[in-house]
Amino acid sequence: MPFKVLISDSLSKEAIAILEKEKELKVDVNTKLTPDELKNVIKDYDALIVRSGTKVTKDVIEHADKLRIVGRAGVGLDNVDVEAASKKGVIVVNTPGGNTISTAEHTVSMMLALSRNISLADQSMKRGEWERKKFMGTELYGKTLGVVGLGRIGTEVAKRALSFEMRVLAYDPYLSMEKAKELGIESVDLNTLFKESDYISVHTPLTEETKHIISDKEFGMMKKGIRIINCARGGIVDEEALVKAIESGKVAGAALDVYEDEPPKKDSKIIKLDKLVLTPHLGASTEEAQVNVAIDIANTVRDVLFNKCIRNAVNMPCVEPEMLKIIEPYLKLCENIGAMQSQLVEGHIKRVKIRYVGEILKYDLSPFTVSLIKGMLTPILQETVNFVNSLVIAKERGINIVEMKTAEVQDYTSLIWVEVETDKSKNSIAGTLFTKIDPRIVKVNEFYVDCVPEGYMVVIFNKDVPGIIGQIGRILGDNKINIAGMSFGREEKGGRAITVLNVDSDVPKKVLEEIRRSSNIQEVKLVKL
């Protein structure tokens, strides 16, 4: 019985040919399925290949009785419920590198078109006009470009900007000073970037932290005449604030390829302002990029169905299926330790030290390290990082990873200890498994704790005085936030202490700030796993 593959969005003929030449695969191309139709037919398929058009919802996945893999020909996974797929054991893969050059080139094209008023001059010429003075432009040479997010695309944009002899500033919490120097750019904090740049280009995923990362307050910091480019994700730039900044004269212009609503509403001011250069989400729309990502995803899906190594999986490392069942609890523990670290530390990450202790040494440790680094990078980089590229991305950012092994067992039969060093501080977390399947965090810095790394966690550093727990509990209770579990640790009686709470829901910033302002509270962090 051949494996059945459904392609529900348009895919290049070269990619389809890769699948169709395999006798063990039966390939169906149907790009006109409604959500209900997809839900009804998916039960018969082993693999599903999509672009951005098909919504692979939890409902669809629950109806997929045979589905082993969902392949997204592209980077973004907004249209795939990865959590639902993971729970059902469905592998989700994407193609994070296939559109790097096309998007970088489009960004630079937009920056040039914005600087030289290309679109307005073109429209004027086609109206039979000849107005040279009206479209006076500005040079890139000698200007300062601020790049927010120095991943693959941001790095390629920076390289091209340097060829124009621009000064390049970059903000990326995972970029080390040494790596920035190697690239010939300056690693700065976000406020410095906003204040000193003549152009700002954003290259981050859309997360809670990056949504409206450029808004009224940020425009207020910038130079008069700043120019903004967004070819990353709609919503990173607050469009309403952008319109106001352009109308006030603070912003000289902007170039957008992505929008908060796609397509933008017809009455939106965004599409009516002359000082905006707009394209309809064309960053990855080159013939080369479309073919590359399609071929990449076709090869990956084929290999998974034929039980070969998994490439670019966002929810599963490259491990033999039998071994994966054994080590999966450790992999999850490592990923969660990494995610906790990235949400607790401050500053640019320079070094990650990992010590494996005890019985865990009988396994190949490389998948654990990969999972840990993926967990550490994901809160910022989201779908652009996976189990295959996480170590490469860390290396690209100048993060030094050191592995250590200790066979001698002390308090636990197995222990994973991770220390992250930044340009500002060091933070360590140790974790283990109880009954070989239940993950626990057992130490944070010098504090011994016992907490489950899952869901929403509030990590509070405080002074060990009576009434602290009641004080925190009252604030959370007043805001309808239920505590599901708690753990405490302290250096000594009356000294520094830690409180770790598992809560049932997200904690708004204003509630965290209320806790932070309370007496004897030193620091409060929200961790989302």
CATH number for position 429: 3.30.1330.90
- Number of folded domains in the chain? 4
Residue closest to 180 by CA, chosen among 189, 143, 370, 110: 189
Is the same domain home to 341 and 213?
A: no
Q: What are residue 88's DSSP bridge partners?
A: none
Is the same domain home to 304 and 412?
A: no
Contact yes or no for 161/109 (Cβ under 8 A): no
pTM: 0.73
CA distance 251 to 227: 6
Is the same domain home to 328 and 441?
A: yes
pLDDT at 77: 85
Residue closest to 149 by CA, chosen among 88, 214, 92: 214
Pairing mode, strands 91-93 and 400-406: unpaired
CA distance 221 to 251: 11
pLDDT at 372: 95
Last residue of a domain, one of 252, 278, 304: 278
Last residue of a domain, one of 421, 445, 469: 445
For residue 488 the two structure tokens come to: 């405490």
Is the same domain home to 115 and 255?
A: yes
Is the same domain home to 327 and 211?
A: no
pLDDT at 234: 94
Pairing mode, strands 144-148 and 3-7: unpaired
The residue segments making up the domain with residue 10 are: 1-96+284-316
List the strands of the sheet with 25-29, edge to edge: 25-29, 3-7, 47-50, 69-72, 91-93
Residue closest to 199 by CA, chosen among 120, 274, 252, 259: 252
- State the CB neighbour count (10 A cutoff) for residue 477: 12
Residue closest to 377 by CA, chosen among 360, 389, 365: 389
Is the same domain home to 353 and 438?
A: yes
Q: What are residue 111's DSSP bridge partners?
A: none
- What are the E-state strand segments in 399-466? 400-406, 414-422, 426-434, 438-444, 447-451, 456-463
pLDDT at 84: 87
Spans of the chain below 50 pLDDT? none
pLDDT at 320: 67
Please confirm whether the linkage preceding 2 is cis (ω < 30° from 0). no
CATH number of the domain that residue 106 is part of: 3.40.50.720
Is the same domain home to 308 and 164?
A: no
Rg (CA), the chain: 25
Is the same domain home to 33 and 111?
A: no
- What is the maximum alpha-carbon separation in the chain? 83
Is the same domain home to 84 and 36?
A: yes
Contact yes or no for 313/92 (Cβ under 8 A): yes
Q: By 3-state DSSP, what share of the chain in percent is helix, strand and coil, each rounded to 5?
A: 35, 25, 40
Task: Reply yes or no on whether 281 is catalytic.
Answer: yes
Q: Give the Å distances, CA to CA, from 481 to 344, 458, 505, 507, 512.
A: 21, 11, 6, 7, 12
pLDDT at 389: 75
Pairing mode, strands 521-528 and 456-463: antiparallel
Q: Is the Cα torsion angle 264, 270, 274, 277 positive or negative in sign?
A: negative
Eight-state DSSP code of residue 222:
S
Which one of the listed residues 72, 106, 160, 233 is annotated catalytic?
A: 233
**Can you count the helices (H) and strands (E) in the chain?**
17, 22
- What are the E-state strand segments in 333-412? 349-358, 400-406
pLDDT at 395: 86
Is the same domain home to 137 and 273?
A: yes
Which one of the listed residues 167, 281, 355, 440 is annotated catalytic?
A: 281
Last residue of a domain, one of 445, 467, 500: 445
Task: Reply yes or no on whether 517 is catalytic.
Answer: no
Contact yes or no for 424/412 (Cβ under 8 A): no
CA distance 118 to 31: 36
Residue 482, exposed/middle/buried by CB under 10 A (0-12, 13-18, 19+)?
exposed
Which one of the listed residues 24, 165, 182, 262 is annotated catalytic?
A: 262
Residues 6+ apart with CB under 8 A from 395: none
pLDDT at 75: 82
CATH number of the domain that residue 459 is part of: 3.30.70.260
Burial pattern 75-93, b for ≥16 Cβ within 10 A else e, equals: bbbebbbbebbbeeebbbb
CA distance 322 to 50: 28
Is the same domain home to 271 and 352?
A: no
Name the strand (E) or helix (H) holding 101: helix 100-115
Is the same domain home to 88 and 1?
A: yes
Q: Whole-angstrom distance between the N-terminal and C-terminal Cα of the chain?
A: 40
Task: Reply yes or no on whether 262 is catalytic.
Answer: yes
Residue closest to 417 by CA, chosen among 506, 357, 360: 357
